[in-house]
């Protein structure tokens, strides 16, 4: 697997927390995955997880590693569109994310890894073991 291949990360939160995150993602016109990924990365800006886990979450004052893939996306958007303000840049990046999401959802459905369930109100993982 290449370093830039995407993999699923699963976590469990109370229903009320998911609803809060969903509302915040909708307000920012982001997918839930992109919202959570962005919030995790934003939280890591000032925190580093120590290897011994005894002081997990304690500020270290170190910067997180640069996200070269995201920086490349920003540069591509600016080269494609020219001068963009904050809102225009966010919108262009969201459009790119939505296009990527659409392509990945289609690929996962073609592989029968996920399917859309109207009954469940969204995409679900199929039993592909």
When pLDDT is cut at 50, 70 and 90, the band that residue 3 belongs to is low
Among 40-44, 50-54, 85-89, the minimum mean pLDDT is found in 50-54
Tell me the pLDDT band of 52, cut-offs 50, 70 and 90.
very low
What is the model's pLDDT at position 125? 92
Q: What is the pLDDT of residues 5-41, one digit of tens each?
A: 778 778 787 888 888 888 888 888 888 888 888 888 7
CB within 8 Å of 88: residues ≥ 6 apart: 81
pLDDT at 58: 41
Residue 114: how many other CB atoms lie within 10 Å: 19
H helix runs in the chain, sequence order: 15-27, 32-44, 68-81, 86-110
What average pLDDT does this structure show over 51-66? 46
Whether 38 and 30 have beta carbons less than 8 Å apart is answered as: yes
Does pLDDT of 64 surpass 60? no
């Amino acid at each position: 697997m290449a370093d830039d291949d995407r993999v699923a990360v699963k976590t469990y939160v109370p229903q009320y927390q998911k609803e809060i995150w969903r509302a915040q993602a909708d307000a920012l016109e982001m997918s839930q995955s992109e919202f959570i990924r962005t919030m995790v990365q934003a939280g890591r800006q000032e925190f580093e997880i120590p290897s011994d886990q005894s002081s997990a979450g304690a500020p270290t004052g170190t910067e997180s590693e640069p996200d070269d893939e995201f920086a490349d996306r920003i540069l591509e958007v600016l080269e494609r569109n020219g001068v963009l303000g904050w809102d225009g840049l966010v919108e262009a990046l969201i459009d790119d994310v939505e296009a990527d999401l659409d392509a990945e959802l289609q690929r996962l459905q073609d592989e029968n890894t996920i399917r859309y369930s109207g009954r469940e109100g969204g995409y679900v993982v199929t039993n592909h073991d």
